[in-house]
Structure 1
Amino acid sequence: MKVLANFEDNHKIPSNSSLDVMLGGGFEKGTITQIFGPPTSGKSNLTLTLAVNVARTNKKVIYIDTEGGISIDRIKQIAGSDFSNVANNIIVFEPTSFQEQNDKLRSIDVWLRRNHEDVELIVLDSAVALYRVDDMKSSKLNKELGKQMGLLSKIARQYDVAVIVTNQIYSAIDEEGNSDIKAVGGTILQYWSKVIIQLERGDEINQRVATLKRHRSMPEGKQAVFTITSRGII
């Protein structure tokens, strides 16, 4: 099925892929969507595709890159001839510490009070990269992470903005010695994320599989298969 980008449903942002079918039209505004998976599972390709889709409509995207991995060349590929217009509509922040990440989010909240009508999407890629390398005690880190997610949730609801956070994974061993893949951030990110999507590599080299782990109105376990291309995801 081919899904064409349209913003007739003003409460959802399309990805132009089978993900839109899985999500009932696209990524919701007014809430936090968490996307987690291993490296190269497609998290950044998905968020960059969404960012370009929004920027093409002359709406602003706030992209918080905590790993210093955002690629201008990749945005050029996805945007094609629209790059100049797209580039003007994507605002990038690159915090280098967990405290700076906190400060950036608070400054964004202040800025949005005057400019929220121009913004449709906020991406935090990744929510826990700096959290994992910070030397603060874990209890304080968890408290700060909860505050950050609470602020993003407030921003999403107050300004009807789609907030997408990407997340990393780790392997946990249960009492029977079985390995289970879990998202970093535990119950904190799980609590604040009203939609949760797990990404995995598919059978083919550029194929990815998305599994719906949580949604307010769609059944859990639904899956979508998409392909990463030079022009984004299809």
Structure 2
Amino acid sequence: MVKKKTVFVCQECGYESPKWLGKCPNCNKWNCMIEEIKSPQEVTFSNMKFSSTPKSINNIKSGEYERLDTGIMELNRVLGGGIVKGSITLISGAPGIGKSTLLLQTASNIAEKYGKVLYVSGEESEEQIKMRGDRLDSLSNDLYIVSEVNIDKIKAHIEQTKPVFVVVDSIQTLFKESISSAPGSVSQVRETSNDIMRIGKSNNISFFIVAHVTKQGELAGPRVLEHMVDTVLSFEGERTGELRILRTVKNRFGTTSEIGVFEMAGSGLKEILNPSAAFLEDREFQKEGSVIIGIMEGRRPILVEIQALVSETKAVMPRRTAVGVDISRLNLILAVLEKKLRITFYNCDVYVNVVGGLKIEGTFGDLGLALALISSAKSREIGLDNLLAVGEVGLTSEVRPVSFCDRIVNEAKKMGFRNIIIPDRNKEKVNSKDINVIGVSSLKEALNKVF
């Protein structure tokens, strides 16, 4: 008989210790070591049966072109063209953001096209899911619902139903009877996700797994969960707002720079095929401290409004607040403006916001951010109507070129912009017909031409 072994497992990172510790030596978290019973299994290679054999890479059929169409173009875009058969996708987001709504719509669309789909819920009953299905009009006959949290019973349901696609909502509610720890613990999440991965890979079944997030917005559970799955999606947005953004964090079958934009309505999530129009509903109003910028998300140009508010303060430490912009990037732009243009911010609170809840990555919005800060600090509106700004700002105040500038300019032309300020080195590659393209090489030059 194999003797049971007791270990203490960190619920934050999965670190194991033979004795209790007040502080985890791996992640430095306090009071996170939970006692669990670990039963080691003896493995003998003499009686081991192999279910797989090595194959030549040229004899293996690629699954790249065998994708499931979700019926939602924005979701297909984020996934790289659809769901790869046998892949495991993890989706996370704040409570109430719309994860279950998106997956129920996806499950119903796949069931209509490809056959049986199994929706496993550990948080809601079958009746509750049916109520949502009625509201979303997601009522395919091949969509099967089961409320279950035991992973062994879920495997039995999958073997009996033989679905092409499975949704698990959520991984933190599942448990395995052979493990003594509570559902949601590191050991339970690791073992149940391991079982799901084996089922999906061996039976060529695609899985979508819902995961909870912490108060800081990070994925709850051990980091090994992100390494095991093929794709990690993050659903972002304000619960009180209408816009939702689906972003790729990891994707083995496509790019990680694409985003999908949705609108939450009473009948479910609706795709927004033209995000620029959604983010620029009030662009006709010329406002102090407001500039329209162009960015690239994957292969798609998006125009958004960036707002800045500079207010004098008597506090010893002025406040720097940025929503949608990297705070270190904001501090860099402020330092350049103070040093090179002699515009003082050391005695001012600075607030920056990207309208619509979009998070800007990269350096596309540097020039627009600098112009918005100057406009608010000087209490002056932008002198040119329908202005769009694109460009990277360097530490010597030079405006450096950005990639895909021609695509951003073409998108601006479609949206009705007539004055576009871009880096001087990008101007020769841009079609300036019917629009006023202004090329600048420094912040001082941009300031003279805009105000």
- TM bracket (short chain): 0.7 to 0.9
Matched, 1:57 2:101: no
Going from structure 1 to structure 2, the CA distance change for 1:188 and 1:233 (only over 3 Å counts) comes to farther
Going from structure 1 to structure 2, the CA distance change for 1:27 and 1:204 (only over 3 Å counts) comes to farther
Matched, 1:74 2:123: no
Gaps in structure 2 of 5+ consecutive residues: 1-64, 272-451
Task: Give the number of the structure whose alpha-carbon radius of gyration is greater.
Answer: 2
SS of structure 1 residue aligned to 2:137 = helix
- % of aligned pairs identical? 20
From 28, 46, 49, give the equivalent of 2:102. Answer: 46
Tell me by how many angstroms 1:56 deviates.
1.6
Q: Give the equivalent residue in structure 2 for 1:160.
A: 204
Structure 2 counterparts to residues 1-234 of structure 1, below 5 A: 10-57=66-113, 59-68=115-124, 70-79=128-137, 83=139, 86=140, 88-95=141-148, 100-111=149-160, 116=162, 119-129=163-173, 136-137=180-181, 141-171=185-215, 180-201=216-237, 205-229=241-265, 230=267, 232-234=269-271
Q: Distance in 2 between matches of 1:11 and 1:68?
A: 29
Going from structure 1 to structure 2, the CA distance change for 1:75 and 1:103 (only over 3 Å counts) comes to same
Tell me if the contact between 1:13 and 1:50 (Cα under 8 Å) persists in the aligned partners.
Answer: no
Which has the larger share of helix?
Answer: 1
Q: Distance in 1 between matches of 2:202 and 2:131?
A: 33
Tell me if the contact between 1:202 and 1:209 (Cα under 8 Å) persists in the aligned partners.
Answer: no
Tell me if the contact between 1:128 and 1:168 (Cα under 8 Å) persists in the aligned partners.
Answer: yes
Instruction: Give runs of ≥4 in structure 1 deviating > 6 Å.
Output: none
TM superposition score normalised by structure 2:
0.40
Going from structure 1 to structure 2, the CA distance change for 1:73 and 1:109 (only over 3 Å counts) comes to closer
Going from structure 1 to structure 2, the CA distance change for 1:77 and 1:225 (only over 3 Å counts) comes to same
Amino acid at match of 2:166: I
Structure ranking higher on relative contact order (CA contacts 8 Å, 6+ apart): 1
Tell me by how many angstroms 1:211 deviates.
1.2
Q: Distance in 2 between matches of 1:127 and 1:209?
A: 22
Q: Distance in 1 between matches of 2:186 and 2:239?
A: 36
SS of structure 2 residue aligned to 1:212 = strand
SS of structure 2 residue aligned to 1:40 = coil
Tell me if the contact between 1:13 and 1:29 (Cα under 8 Å) persists in the aligned partners.
Answer: no
Going from structure 1 to structure 2, the CA distance change for 1:212 and 1:58 (only over 3 Å counts) comes to closer
Q: Distance in 2 between matches of 1:21 and 1:161?
A: 21
TM superposition score normalised by structure 1:
0.74
Tell me if the contact between 2:69 and 2:83 (Cα under 8 Å) persists in the aligned partners.
Answer: yes
Tell me by how many angstroms 1:37 deviates.
0.5
Going from structure 1 to structure 2, the CA distance change for 1:35 and 1:61 (only over 3 Å counts) comes to same
Q: Distance in 1 between matches of 2:154 and 2:183?
A: 20
Tell me by how many angstroms 1:208 deviates.
0.5
Tell me by how many angstroms 1:140 deviates.
10
Q: Give the equivalent residue in structure 1 for 2:356.
A: none
- Per mean C-alpha deviation after superposition, the further-off stretch among 53-62 and 102-111 is 102-111
Tell me if the contact between 2:80 and 2:253 (Cα under 8 Å) persists in the aligned partners.
Answer: no
Going from structure 1 to structure 2, the CA distance change for 1:79 and 1:57 (only over 3 Å counts) comes to farther
Q: Distance in 1 between matches of 2:270 and 2:197?
A: 27
- What is the alpha-carbon root mean square deviation over aligned residues? 2.8
